Amino acid sequence: MNRVFIEQYAAAKRKSGLSKSTVSGYLVPICGFYRWAFQEGLTQTDHGAYVRRYSRPRRSRLKWYTREEARRILAASIEMGKPTSGLIHLLLLNGLRLGETLATRIEHLSTIDHMTALTLPNRKMGVMDTVTLPAATVEVLGDCIGKRKHGRILLDRGRVLTPSRVYTLCNQMSEICGLDTPVRPHQLRATFVTLSLDAGVPYRDVMASTGHADMSMVAYYDRAHAAIRRNASHRLSDWLAD
């Protein structure tokens, strides 16, 4: 057994009609097995260490909302009242993940440099972050909290807001706004990225707000947006026509 044999196996699978992603999936346990065998001293070398795998660039298929649609969504959330207003503002204006949004607590609010800040103790990869909130978000969160001193910020009729309830509220909002693309939490987060970049916010600041480990994920969202909204072909065509 050696690397060449494993790659020949992969080539045979491709020839049989399997996609590159499927074949790459087959190679994961195979290479993992040989890595384990080497680490346990069962083999003298890691036969799968240098196996060449098929790669495919990631492309985002997420939908995003335009500036005007984002305004309509924010306005509709205020019209619907709590907890929808707080939910939508945290997702769209702050770019939080749904899990982070639902887990926000009153005790995690503070004031830093005269701005209201929210601590997120369990972001992705176990990282703790603190983000500041714009005035519009602070206002709607104040309505969601009321006179309470502790507990979850977002409650649904006195109960913890659940993901299933979030999607129900999003469906109601989609009807109110008359959007072709239904409102979904991850699409609101993607819109935070694309509109922030359109507004001139630097990549590194967007990355810090969303809690991404590096700029590649910001670019992941932005590339699909740019291919449609900022496609170079239109500007080149206009330039050649002048």
- pLDDT tens, residue by residue, 16-38: 998 888 888 889 999 999 999 99
Residue 116 predicted with pLDDT over 90: yes
CATH class of 67-229: mainly alpha
What are the sequence ranges of the domains in the chain?
1-56, 67-229
| Residue carrying the six token digits 């992603």 | 21
Quick one: CA dihedral 192, 195, 199, 201, positive or negative? positive
**Cβ count near 9 (within 10 Å):** 14
Alpha-carbon dihedral 94, 144, 181, 236, rounded to 10 degrees: -30
Crossing angle between the packed helical segments 3-15 and 20-39, to the nearest 10 degrees: 160
Confidence of residue 228 (pLDDT cuts 50, 70, 90): low
| Lowest mean pLDDT segment, chosen from 28-42, 145-159, 215-229 | 215-229
Q: What long-range pairs does 71-75 form, CB within 8 A, spacing at least 24?
A: 72/177, 72/179, 73/173, 73/177, 73/179, 73/183, 73/188, 74/136
User: pLDDT tens across 184-224, in order?
Assistant: 999 999 899 888 988 888 878 888 888 876 677 777 676 66
Residue bearing the bigger pLDDT, 107 or 229: 107
Of 4, 46, 9, the closest CA to residue 26 belongs to 9
What's the sign of the alpha-carbon dihedral 129, 130, 136, 139? positive
What's the pLDDT score for residue 167? 95
Can you say how many angstroms the Cα of residue 50 is from the centroid of all Cα atoms in its chain? 32
